Amino acid sequence: MVAAGFLVLVGLCFFVGLLAHSAAARIGVRGVRLTGPKGNTLKVQPAQEQIPMAWAPLLTTNDLRRVRDIEMSQFSLLDAEDIEQDCAVCSQRVAMSVEIAMHYNDTVVQFAQAGGVVVTVQEGRITVQRLDALDPTADPSEIYEACAEASCSSIRISGIDVEALRQQAEALEYNGGGRRSAGKAKQCKQSAGKRTEKEPP
């Protein structure tokens, strides 16, 4: 009986091996491409790159359609004279799913989500309206500014030439510093400074 059981076990192993071989024959690998049973290339999700959100206006409209999530951190309040005030109660980091992306030109882009939150990226500066839709501690009547450093606020996107985008950003001084660190050490929390640039649309 032991011998019979052993033969059954060997037969099962052989059968499983045949199934595995058959599956491997149906799905092969060509370089970095997966191929199906008829030699057709299967779709593979492209790798995503993380880039500073300050570069967003430099993306094309087609690029912006692929942006699904953004992250922002280290918020400050903007008063009536557009001067920064520390926000002690704001969340350290906020993630947002993008439902609408509006591309005005190579200086201004906006991301929006249900609930009224609108994130404007203009010339390297990131401002947020209705932050309370993402952070319950935020005041719905206030406008906030997020740190624009690459380590603070970013977007994930696939299918772009990061180095070319970096060079373009550096040429336009959209280097992830925004106005909050212009001419200063690259730190997100800076003392208040009055804005003189034009307002987002």
Residues of the chain with pLDDT under 70: 1-47, 175-201
**Three-state SS for 74?**
coil
Beta-bridge partners for 96 = 70
Task: Return the pLDDT at 47.
Answer: 65
Give the β-pairing of 100-103 and 84-86. unpaired
Task: Return the pLDDT at 184.
Answer: 33
Look up residue 186 and give its two tokens.
Answer: 């690259």
pTM: 0.65
Q: What's the chain's length in residues?
A: 201
Q: What are the strands of the beta sheet with 125-129, ordered from one edge?
A: 84-86, 75-78, 143-146, 125-129, 118-122, 108-112, 100-103
Task: Return the pLDDT at 174.
Answer: 80
Query: What are the C-alpha distances in Å from 108 to residues 74, 102, 121?
Result: 21, 9, 6
Task: Return the pLDDT at 16.
Answer: 45
Task: Return the pLDDT at 29.
Answer: 40
Task: Return the pLDDT at 127.
Answer: 94
* Sign for the pseudo-dihedral over CA of 195, 94, 70, 187: positive
Task: Return the pLDDT at 182.
Answer: 39
Task: Return the pLDDT at 117.
Answer: 94
Query: What are the C-alpha distances in Å from 152 to residues 6, 80, 135?
Result: 62, 25, 16
Task: Return the pLDDT at 55.
Answer: 93
Task: Return the pLDDT at 19.
Answer: 47
Task: Return the pLDDT at 49.
Answer: 82
Task: Return the pLDDT at 99.
Answer: 93
Find the DSSP H helices in 144-199: 162-171
